[in-house]
Structure 1
């Protein structure tokens, strides 16, 4: 049976009461990296008590947009490829749809072509100032279950901020008050301070994240790699497998070195397996992008409720030959080096470095806006984003928690996420996109290299 999804209605949901209008400053982290939308999906089991479902979601969304009013605004380009956030209550796109099948057609809910119809599409052919910063779609299934999907602009939020918003939306839908009010003061991410001292301590312009990622040896650009067909896989790791990888990464660790974390161990394993599957030459440079939350690394730490981007990408670097010939601990150590660069001084210096740039274009992943399929990181590079510590499960709008939560389709070669298993038993799920020609080899290495 083929899934058919029909859109019943589409509207713009605005805050129930007027809020402040004007231009809200954006930080350097808002304006660089991914400046498009990020999709997530939730599925809920059949319930007899779904009367008024769409109305309750729409009404509670309107109410939660009062404190979270920037999401109802629009972004606009300014000089130097910079973005402005206009708080104008233009509204959030809200779509009601229905499917001709039950949830069972989606199997284990792994990302699949059908997601294209379940996640609201962002039309990047339109001027950026016309694009909603949040698009929501509620899809009703024949079995009585429903799907809730969101496409949210990365210009306005990072992962922690996005989850803050959806959790507060769910609380309002349940009739409960907000738990943590958002605030939008970008100054909490640090003032420039003494630029000369900061740049001498943290010369960010010498760090790899501010340079173009490496290409395959012998290539002058990545066009050939960007055009190759990709495939998505959801790979599960049991707690025993996670523990084995962590122990393996720490096996030859120097005594004066703090133990490698789960993330460093798992990300190192993914990096090594991708390198093997891609069959790189020994001297091929390769990078792994690590997304680091700076909230707890600032001095003083950023207090809860900050709504915006406070995460930044840093890059671990190596040669492919070293990754595959040395133990897992080597890959973990390279990732550790990248993460430990992110200090209070580094964040302040990096922001000042970006402020000094006349044009931010080369620091932005604007490929979707240009209508191309070019990934920011592709062969020979990849990115591993951790959602392991984020409260991604248990989103209850009044009909119980979801039966599945995960990313929408992500079709960029080398793009991956690591999520905690939904059972809370210490298992993990790796959502990975790779060139189709490399995926089978990657899966083989991924499990064969774990000796448990």
Structure 2
């Protein structure tokens, strides 16, 4: 599939906005700092297709209007000393791209991860000075059949998934002619942005330590060079219930807390299957990174529409042999233990730890293709992010809701994401990147183990 650029422009706020430096929290400045991509696919009605130029105009006008309220996204990042960043609110704008594909939307089939997606995402030059790179890129691509793709690339240094979806939801509201639903809460000082360390209890923060390595290796360099493959695997509502039931049926006796959630059961299943597919030795140490939303875990709770990164990573650890040979409830309990560690005190200890670091560069992934070499990716480790409770669907710009949505692909071994099913039937999709020569085994274990659990249930 060939995609040809038709138009490109910077869209600035429709009205003057506040200008000046906005301090970022330590959570904003560490981890993945490149752009996170999401792709929405539509089949507009005939009325819209007859006036294709109106689609581009609608997107551009609504972007200009929404940036008045979400003005930090129209700014630029700027480096400070010690690999710190500040957000310059300067109204320079976001990049809007219009393109045309020489194929029908059907070329994407069932929308499973595909090399074609690369052509639908805006190219971003990460070799340019960071002060010149827009925080938001939007690409509108027309297909020959009349279908369209809207791809959003939003800087992960500025927002997390919940904040990004708040922005996209309000963008669609304005495009349809509705009023703004909820204003973003822009003050990041609630997470002590720009303030020095304070006296807080100290916790262990192993997410910043060196991750487990394969037995016999002194670095992850060899593993990070291996070819990866993407997959999108569906779990039906019944399969999810089977996993939950199995995890809770086999929960350790010492774990008397509430029943395991869908996330804990699915993530435990992914972890065990990855250990098996990777062929680990019994004594191999492995870690699973979990992103925990802290909006309701700090005191006082953050405003519901807090705009920024309000997540912390915690690491569930275990021995591959134990994870594989012991029941699913054991792996789920390791994940539960990590999630339960995130308290108000833990969050502020986390902030203090980062504030006291001399330099952030060792904790930053600037380019998406370098994610394998980041602080916690690649064999024998993995991460499982959940979007199951986020409002990822229903983005209607006036020409109807999307027919499908999928995140952009990453070349990152062990990176996985759980998405809710599009039809609202209780299903989910697991979008996974793994070393190519391990993927087929993972798929086999992924479904085979569910059937095994079904047979062993009382």
Report the TM-score when normalising by structure 2.
0.94
SS at match of 2:321: helix
Q: 2:67 aligns with which of 65, 68, 78?
A: 65
Q: 1:282 to 1:44 in 2, by over 3 A?
A: same
* Cα-to-partner distance string for 1:220-265 (whole Å, 9 max, x where unaligned): 1111111111000000001110000000000132372211111000
SS at match of 1:117: helix
Q: Which residue of 2 aligns with 1:356?
A: 356
* Cα-to-partner distance string for 1:321-375 (whole Å, 9 max, x where unaligned): 1111111111101101111111111111111111111111222223548x68635
Q: Which residue of 2 aligns with 1:37?
A: 35
SS at match of 2:46: coil
Taking the TM superposition and a 5 Å limit, the aligned residue runs for 1:226-305 are: 226-253=224-251, 254=253, 256-305=256-305
Q: Which residue of 2 aligns with 1:340?
A: 340
Q: Partners of 2:260 and 2:368 in 1: how far apart?
A: 35
- The Cα shift of 1:411 comes to 1.6
SS at match of 2:47: coil
Would you say 1:425 and 2:425 are equivalent positions?
Answer: yes
- The Cα shift of 1:19 comes to 0.4
Q: 1:207 to 1:374 in 2, by over 3 A?
A: closer
- 8 Å contact 2:365–2:371 — kept in the other structure? no
SS at match of 1:297: coil
- 8 Å contact 1:418–1:430 — kept in the other structure? yes
Q: Which residue of 2 aligns with 1:145?
A: 147
Structure 1 unpaired stretches of 5+: none
* Cα-to-partner distance string for 1:90-141 (whole Å, 9 max, x where unaligned): 1101100011111111101122111111011211111111111000000011
The worse-fitting range, judged by mean Cα deviation, of 214-223 and 54-63 is 214-223
Would you say 1:374 and 2:376 are equivalent positions?
Answer: no
* Cα-to-partner distance string for 1:46-71 (whole Å, 9 max, x where unaligned): 42122211101101101100110111
Q: Which residue of 2 aligns with 1:220?
A: 218
SS at match of 2:270: helix
SS at match of 1:438: helix
SS at match of 2:450: coil
Give the root-mean-square deviation of aligned CA atoms.
Answer: 1.6
Q: Partners of 1:104 and 1:363 in 2: how far apart?
A: 41
SS at match of 2:342: coil
Q: Partners of 1:439 and 1:80 in 2: how far apart?
A: 39
Taking the TM superposition and a 5 Å limit, the aligned residue runs for 1:169-184 are: 169-184=171-186
Q: Partners of 2:149 and 2:366 in 1: how far apart?
A: 29
- The Cα shift of 1:81 comes to 0.6
Q: Which residue of 1 aligns with 2:119?
A: 117
Q: 1:193 to 1:337 in 2, by over 3 A?
A: farther
Q: 2:109 aligns with which of 107, 110, 118?
A: 107
Q: Which residue of 1 aligns with 2:134?
A: 132
- 8 Å contact 1:367–1:373 — kept in the other structure? no
Q: Partners of 1:129 and 1:60 in 2: how far apart?
A: 25
- The Cα shift of 1:9 comes to 0.8
Q: Partners of 2:154 and 2:360 in 1: how far apart?
A: 21
- 8 Å contact 1:195–1:349 — kept in the other structure? no
Q: Partners of 2:198 and 2:323 in 1: how far apart?
A: 36
Q: Partners of 2:9 and 2:331 in 1: how far apart?
A: 48
Q: Partners of 1:373 and 1:125 in 2: how far apart?
A: 18
* Cα-to-partner distance string for 1:144-176 (whole Å, 9 max, x where unaligned): 110000111001100000000000000000011
Structure 2 unpaired stretches of 5+: none
Q: 1:442 to 1:151 in 2, by over 3 A?
A: same
- 8 Å contact 2:419–2:429 — kept in the other structure? yes
- The Cα shift of 1:194 comes to 9.6
The worse-fitting range, judged by mean Cα deviation, of 353-362 and 223-232 is 353-362
Q: Which residue of 1 aligns with 2:436?
A: 436
- The Cα shift of 1:275 comes to 0.3
Q: 1:368 to 1:426 in 2, by over 3 A?
A: closer
Q: Partners of 2:65 and 2:317 in 1: how far apart?
A: 46
- 8 Å contact 2:197–2:352 — kept in the other structure? no
Would you say 1:331 and 2:331 are equivalent positions?
Answer: yes
Q: Partners of 1:39 and 1:111 in 2: how far apart?
A: 13
- 8 Å contact 1:139–1:148 — kept in the other structure? yes
The worse-fitting range, judged by mean Cα deviation, of 149-158 and 47-56 is 47-56
SS at match of 1:416: strand
